Chain A
Amino acid sequence: MSSFKFDGREIPFVDGQTILQAVQAAGQDIPHLCYHPEFKPHGSCKLCSVRIGERMIASCTTPAAAGMNVESDTPDINDQRRTLLQMLFVEGNHFCPSCEKSGACRLQASAYELQMMSPHYDHFFPDRPVDASHEDFLLDTNRCILCSLCVRASRDVDGKNVFAFSGRGIHTHLIVNARSGRLGDTDFAAADKAAQVCPVGCILRKRVGFAVPIGQRPFDPPPQGE
């Protein structure tokens, strides 16, 4: 089996695996947001960027190759990843204390992991109305990070195309498949794969918020012995 070096460790891989896939298969990880093992890698959030030689590349889309020397967990690379998180935080409206997804949010967890102490940049404070039209779900695009997981899930698994991106550049935004622009007027349903994949608090199931106490949520730190 071929292998490559990842932060000094040998990581085996099979043909067709990307760097991130091989690293995960070996029980290691690289910070990531738009990657999900069940979907085709997308490579847009760039959080999983690693260094090979002089170049930074997205590890979720770059095929593993024998002999490559991949650097990931270094202060400089983590600093770059922190910048990406800060960009995502100021681009949207991410007020964790009032978000039902807090403690289970991958954006927040990544920020903890990478020790992001502040959003650093000036906030964009965009005006994005909340869509509560659906019987079972809230759509709060204030928290959307444009990872496209819901787009891919709805298109590739559910066969529904409930979600897509419109606009361009900083105006890129999530749209739903209804002339009214309301989620409640689409065929989105709780059983959809797209209802399970949002890494942040954008697509939220109604009536189950704040059910898990602080301290027991997925990304809460383990309790400390006094």
Chain B
Amino acid sequence: MDAKAKVRIATTSLAGCFGCHMSFLDIDERLFDLVRLVDFDRSPLTDIKTVGDCDVGLIEGGLCNAENVHVLREFRAHCRILVALGACAINGGLPAQRNHLPLAGVLQEVYQTSPGMAGGMIPNDPELPLPLDKVHPLHEVVHVDYFIPGCPPSADAIWQVLTDLIAGREPVLAQRLIHFD
């Protein structure tokens, strides 16, 4: 990577809880170092809504609906390096706990059987993305270059991988930075 040019980074959260982004912010004062090295493209941090050509894309969360798939594909198309950030991006995580249930049953239970939701109607506004029958981790839909495990990954782990990538190194996490919970 050219040391002079700033590295362009995009981030997003799909079927996630933004916990990984919170952990990202936990790099604390290292954020000052980071902004000297990188420009942020689409990200909750910038509020830019579309992703442009980037060096690195960080994606939190798995894929639970059509919109998730579209965003993931955009990131894959525009990011040279795609990084799956956190447990849900890597194995579906908590949202994937519904995978053993038929989707129709889930929708029925939530919107029709249980009291109080949406007047007993399954929402069908075209604005809303339709849910997939199963929640998938990112690597089952696009090629993913690197993974940072953890729920969430620690700020140190995120910092390690980012600084490795910015420096053009193969990212390596020390064993103490690898955890799945």
Residue ranges of A at the interface with B (Cβ–Cβ < 8 Å):
89, 93-99, 102-103, 108, 111-113, 115, 117-120, 122-123, 125-128, 214, 220-222, 224
Contact = CB atoms under 8 A, between A and B. Distances in A.
Given A118-B149, A125-B100, 13 more contacts: A94-B91, A95-B93, A96-B151, A97-B180, A103-B181, A112-B179, A119-B91, A122-B140, A123-B136, A125-B96, A127-B100, A214-B181, A220-B179
Interface string B145-166: 0111101000000000000000
Interface stretch (B23-31, B111-119, B170-178): B170-178
Nearest to B101: A127
A115 B175 contact: yes
Contacts of A103: 181
A118 B134 contact: no
Interface residues of B, number: 29
8 contacts: A115-B178, A118-B91, A118-B137, A118-B144, A119-B91, A122-B140, A123-B91, A125-B96
A15 to B, nearest CB: 36
Given A103-B181, A118-B147, A123-B92, A95 B87 contact: yes
Nearest to B141: A122
A214 to B, nearest CB: 7
Nearest to A223: B176
